Amino acid sequence: MVIITPLHAFVLATHKGCLMKKFTWQGQSILKGFGIVLCLFLVLFNFSPAMQVINNIPNVVYLDSDSQKNDFFSSLPAPFNYSIEDDTQTVSGSIDESLNKNRTSATVELFGFIPVKTVFFYTKSNHYLIPCGQSIGIALHTKGILVVGTSDITTTSSDGTIKNVPSPAAVAGIVAGDIITEANGVEIYNTDNLVEICNSANGQVTLTIKRNKNPQTITLNAAYDSRENQYKLGMWVRDSTAGIGTISFFDPETLNYAALGHAIMDIDTSTVFDVKSGEITECEIVDIIKGEVGEAGELLGTFGSSSERFGSIRTNCEFGVYGTLYGDMDIDSLSYYNQPLPVAFPSEVRTGKATILTTLNDSTIGEYECKVTKLFSQSKAESKGFVIEITDSRLLEKTGGIVQGMSGSPIIQNGKIIGVVTHVMINDPQRGYCMYAYWMAELMG
From the list 87, 96, 225, 392, the catalytic residue is: 392
From the list 98, 383, 407, 409, the catalytic residue is: 407
- Angle at the Cα of 120 (from 424 to 356), degrees rounded to 5? 25
From the list 178, 262, 409, 423, the catalytic residue is: 262
The CB density around residue 46, as the number of other CB atoms within 10 Å, is 17
Residue 289: strand pairing partners: 298
Contact (CB, 8 A) for 209 and 187: no
The answer to whether 392 is a known catalytic residue is yes
The answer to whether 15 is a known catalytic residue is no
Q: What phi and psi values does residue 395 have, to the nearest 5 degrees? A: -70, -40
Contact (CB, 8 A) for 263 and 142: no
- Residue 283 has, within 13 A of its CA and on its CB side, a CA count of 31
CB-count exposure of residue 404 (10 Å: 0-12, 13-18, 19+): middle
The CB density around residue 440, as the number of other CB atoms within 10 Å, is 31
The answer to whether 8 is a known catalytic residue is no
* Count of residues making up the chain: 445
CB-count exposure of residue 159 (10 Å: 0-12, 13-18, 19+): exposed
Distance CA 182, CA 184 (A): 7
Contact (CB, 8 A) for 29 and 37: no
The CB density around residue 200, as the number of other CB atoms within 10 Å, is 13
CB-count exposure of residue 205 (10 Å: 0-12, 13-18, 19+): buried
DSSP secondary structure string for all residues of 68-94:
HHHHHTTTPPTTEEEEEEPPPP--TTS
Element (H, E) at 257: strand 256-259
Element (H, E) at 139: strand 135-150
- Distances in whole angstroms, Cα of residue 308 to Cα of each of 117, 138, 250, 335, 366: 52, 12, 18, 16, 21
Q: How far apart are the first and last CA of the chain?
A: 36
Distance CA 346, CA 386 (A): 10
Residues serving a catalytic function are 262, 392, 407
